[in-house]
Amino acid sequence: MKADLHLHSNASDGTDTPDALMKICADAGLEGVALMDHDTLSGIGQARQTADDLGIAFIPGTELSVDHEVLDGSMIKIHMLAYGIEPDSGPLRDKLEWLRQGRDERNPKILEKLCDLGYDICTDDVLEQVEGASVGRPHIADALIAKGYFTDRNQVFDGLLNDGGAAYVERSRLTATEAIELATASGGATVIAHPLTMNIHGDPFVNVLKELITVGLVGIEAHHPTHAPALRDSLTELAKDMGIIATGGSDYHGTGKTGYSVGTGKGDLKIPEDAFERIQQAIKGR
Ligand code: AMP
Ligand code: ZN
Ligand code: FE
Ligand code: FE
């Protein structure tokens, strides 16, 4: 099945409405899609409706930024894709509210730092950029762009909003184990998004996978636009060896990430034909 398992709408930091996003996917010839907005399920209802109308198979989900302590005691950040999460009920849904609260507490602190750095920006400037429930750094970036300080999100993240950047502020996060357990208890199945960003390789990376598989992890996103072809291949092999699913997705954000298309990423993405059905199976098994 021609699918894309990693899409963002303006319910979080994408720029297309869930409805418009599904139409873009249909036009691209996709037969299966998963909506994975950060910390919110608020786009699911509209997206599923349009996907149904267009005859596209639909998986509801969310992408979570989580912490994980590696065996040597160091902390890493992981983006966790939770598939099969329904918006109406479940323990993960309840935690998402807490995560969004953490965002709402963090955003004014980022603005304060930006003001100290000489940027003229206030809460209303940011809210003008927001359509959905989950407000984050990309919306603050959009506000700075609207004010003429920068031309794209990438430029704002670089040294300013990125982790450790001049205006960076921490926010509350789940641990990887908590996220997997909450998603599983909610009838979902979890996959590590773009493992490249974990910045951990070789045996330490394999050890993280082993540990999280015992908690319930079902896959890794081998095919992501930021992965070089050799990495896509080696992660696919590793998934096979470890008995988990090699998935793929474009991480499309509309105009929020330039040069990304649904289904094909930067043009060379080949999302495995069996990934969508295997994730569906994993969800059904819950
Ligand atoms: P937040 O959720 O507020 O912590 O912001 C992190 C999100 O910002 C990520 O999940 C990406 O969607 C987005 N992001 C991170 N780095 C960049 C970048 N360099 N350019 C554009 N968007 C980015
Ligand atoms: Zn995003
Ligand atoms: Fe991500
Ligand atoms: Fe994403």
Closest-CA residue to 197 (of 76, 83, 103) = 76
Q: Provide the total of helices (H) and of strands (E) in the chain, helices listed first.
A: 10, 8
Condensed to tens digits (0 to 9), the pLDDT of residues 196-239 reads 999 999 999 999 999 999 999 999 999 999 999 999 999 999 99
Ramachandran assignment for 272, one of left (phi > 0), alpha (psi -120 to 50 degrees), beta (any other): beta
Index of the ligand 1 atom closest to the CA of residue 106: 3
The protein residue whose alpha carbon is closest to atom 5 in ligand 1 is 137
Cα–ligand 1 centroid distance for 137 (angstroms): 6
CB of 168 within 6 A of ligand 1: the answer is no
Beta bridge partners of 66: 78, 174
Cα–ligand 2 centroid distance for 282 (angstroms): 24
Ramachandran assignment for 177, one of left (phi > 0), alpha (psi -120 to 50 degrees), beta (any other): alpha
User: By CB neighbour count within 10 A (0-12 exposed, 13-18 middle, 19+ buried), where does 253 fall?
Assistant: buried
pLDDT band at 286 (very low <50, low <70, confident <90, very high): confident
Cα–ligand 2 centroid distance for 253 (angstroms): 7
Condensed to tens digits (0 to 9), the pLDDT of residues 14-68 reads 999 999 999 999 999 999 999 999 999 999 999 999 999 999 999 999 999 999 9
CB of 251 within 6 A of ligand 1: the answer is no
Cα–ligand 4 centroid distance for 9 (angstroms): 10
Condensed to tens digits (0 to 9), the pLDDT of residues 238-284 reads 999 999 999 999 999 999 999 999 999 999 999 999 999 999 999 99
Beta-carbon contacts of 35 under 8 Å, excluding residues fewer than 6 positions away, are 7, 8, 9, 11, 18, 21, 43, 44, 47, 58, 59, 60, 61
Instruction: Provide the 3-class DSSP secondary structure of residue 58.
Output: strand
What average pLDDT does the chain have?
97
Task: Work out the angle at residue 245's Cα, subtended by the Cα atoms of residues 47 and 80, and round it to the nearest 5 degrees.
Answer: 55
User: By CB neighbour count within 10 A (0-12 exposed, 13-18 middle, 19+ buried), where does 120 fall?
Assistant: exposed
Condensed to tens digits (0 to 9), the pLDDT of residues 103-116 reads 999 999 999 999 99
Q: Best substitution site from 15, 38, 110, 161 to test ligand 1's pocket, by max atoms within 8 Å of Cβ?
A: 38
Beta-carbon contacts of 109 under 8 Å, excluding residues fewer than 6 positions away, are 169
pTM for the model: 0.97
3-state helix, strand, coil in the chain (%, to 5): 45, 20, 40
Contact between 126 and 135 under an 8 Å Cβ cutoff? The reply is yes
The protein residue whose alpha carbon is closest to atom 3 in ligand 1 is 136
Q: Which H helix or E strand runs over 235?
A: helix 229-242
CB of 4 within 6 A of ligand 1: the answer is no
CB of 100 within 6 A of ligand 1: the answer is no
CB of 258 within 6 A of ligand 1: the answer is no
The protein residue whose alpha carbon is closest to atom 20 in ligand 1 is 154
Index of the ligand 1 atom closest to the CA of residue 257: 21
Q: What single-letter amino acid sits at 101?
A: Q
Pairing of strands 75-83, 57-69: antiparallel
The protein residue whose alpha carbon is closest to atom 8 in ligand 1 is 138
The protein residue whose alpha carbon is closest to atom 10 in ligand 1 is 38
